[in-house]
A and B are shown apart, each in its own frame.
Chain A
């Protein structure tokens, strides 16, 4: 009797939990993923234009971008490149010394995703921290002193800039660009935007898309489309800050592609002056310190157009073509640069043999290393590089 009652009550309990209320117990297990998914979905939606920027014509936005005067800011930027270059896995990066400005570090920065913190205060103080996993590459500029530091091998390098580079006459020296030499594959949005805006010519279609939000700031979406078929670039989208005209992000899409092959943009930005302590750098104890030779300023004008190539070439630089069809070539006698490029295991793996040399081909940029050691680069089809190489002979 007793046991019978116990059984029936247990049966009742079981029945009630499995039957009527059991599904209620599983409700949180359903609700939690749904809540997370909807939260993620809302977060990924483009921010609504609750406070739309005043309408501007493309010419006005171009002018706004060209006239921006932001010299003091700090922020985090993300650069991602899908150029089809050999990608290194996230762990197990080459542990060899990552010397500042080496070809390897350039390729590494031009493949995959990278995050960097940038601090800029006026023209003379800047710091870029390229944040790798468990490592960091720093470029610190304070006045005429520039320090490069790589935490991987605890190596610091110092460069004393010539005094005339700080003069106000050096108008194109817009804070960060010149300080990026330690991380030549990394480009700030402002630096990139400047390069692309310089290519805008009457043959370029410029339009303004609907406003975008970058790093929490409303921005004009300036769309630049080269009309010439000669370039690999299909479209460049530049987010221009609605308030101060600072380029906040740049996305470059190859011709015929629908997703950007290269993008660089701020994920957070503050216009307050950074803490001055970030611009001080003393080489840490126990590491190596190297003094770098002062770069030759005479080749700078060409540098500005050279894009990703600007650390490779040492010799005379020849520029052919204009605007989007620009091809930059080095003269004979700079074989060392070409050799160092091809000695890099990653790059030599990416290079394919073509008539007249070896070609590193990406959706946006082609680089031709000729058999006699010259380098030609441009955002053009390989045939044009070969033609330029033949013509320069």
Chain B
């Protein structure tokens, strides 16, 4: 993983933040955390890879013959008529694996990454406190959860508009909305996905407090998301389904109905809040009782 490469160490990021922390509150700690997170080459590569998904889809549809109606992932057959459907298709395709993968990398790196670089104790030397550091780290992961789906959606809309005609979008209910409102729906879906990934981020944060090997925490987070999705497919575990954090992941189609169905958004938010509470508390329990040796 790139984290172990010296080149990836942001210029004494840990010490810089440690110096900034005393004279400030968590806000500046958060600002520096966001700066480090999004200034990191790895984060840029992740977002670039996510943005490549809609580009690949759009180019593949452009160079191939028309997709017959009703074949392939939902919305794929609409792309040739309306470029904005690239965004919907790309978000749908990236939900099961690519998004959790990217979020797993970021969330798994939160604490373990600092521990691995040996910067964690410098961060804690400052009176910032472990709780505040944990909160700031989680906020950084959440910020990535917001940016990642937006990247896919906006890149999809952009490449779709570049390669295909853009016009009124047909919603699932058969109604038609203008491109401006369609763009709003794309943002709405991105918000839905950001909420969907909050629980996984909390799991990643907890796993990250367990180890000093970031790759382990990243891989474990991604595995957890895959296991959850597999369990969601097993009819024998039907009683468990509403409790799986991935249960509502593909429910974002409800944002494309007329009128918008908010039930799944609300259920999803409640479920994710539960996961954030449980795994946030676990991460707290682990992190504040942990011996920081690096």
Contact = CB atoms under 8 A, between A and B. Distances in A.
Contacts of A51: none
B257 A129 contact: yes
Given A25-B288, A151-B170, 18 more contacts: A14-B291, A17-B289, A18-B289, A27-B285, A89-B235, A95-B70, A96-B70, A97-B70, A98-B70, A133-B251, A134-B75, A135-B74, A135-B172, A136-B174, A136-B257, A281-B175, A284-B170, A284-B176
6 contacts: A95-B70, A97-B70, A131-B261, A138-B173, A154-B170, A284-B170
A149 B173 CA distance: 8
A152 interface: yes
A95 B71 contact: yes
A14 B277 CA distance: 27
Main secondary structure of the interface of A (DSSP, over half): mixed
A33 B278 contact: yes
A151 B261 contact: no
A286 B70 contact: no
A212 B95 CA distance: 39
A117 interface: yes
Contacts of B235: 87, 89
B69 A156 contact: no
Interface in A133-190: 133-136, 138, 140, 147, 149, 151-156
A296 B232 CA distance: 44
Contact of B74 (A32, A129, A134): A134
B172 A29 contact: no
Interface of B: 69-72, 74-75, 77-78, 81-82, 92, 167-168, 170, 172-176, 232-233, 235, 250-251, 253-254, 257-259, 261, 263, 274, 277-278, 280-282, 284-285, 288-289, 291
A308 interface: no
Given A26-B285, A91-B250, A95-B71, A283 B277 contact: no
A36 B242 CA distance: 13
Given A95-B70, A133-B250, A286-B81, A29 B278 contact: yes
Interface residues of A, number: 50
Interface of A: 14, 17-18, 22, 25-29, 31-33, 35-36, 76, 87, 89-91, 95-98, 117, 129, 131, 133-136, 138, 140, 147, 149, 151-156, 275, 278, 281-288
A180 B254 CA distance: 22
A25 B172 contact: no
A135 B253 contact: yes
Contacts of A156: 174
A9 to B, nearest CB: 14
A282 B177 CA distance: 12
Nearest to B271: A36
A340 B263 CA distance: 37
A29 B205 CA distance: 14
A32 B257 contact: no
Given A26-B289, A95-B70, A154-B78, A31 B281 contact: yes
Contacts of A29: 278, 281-282, 284-285
Contacts of A153: 69-70
Nearest to A156: B174
A32 B281 contact: yes
Contacts of A138: 173-174
Given A281-B174, A284-B174, A152 B251 contact: no
Contacts of A87: 235
Contact of A91 (B174, B233, B254, B277): B233
Contact of B172 (A91, A95, A151): A151
A97 B174 contact: no
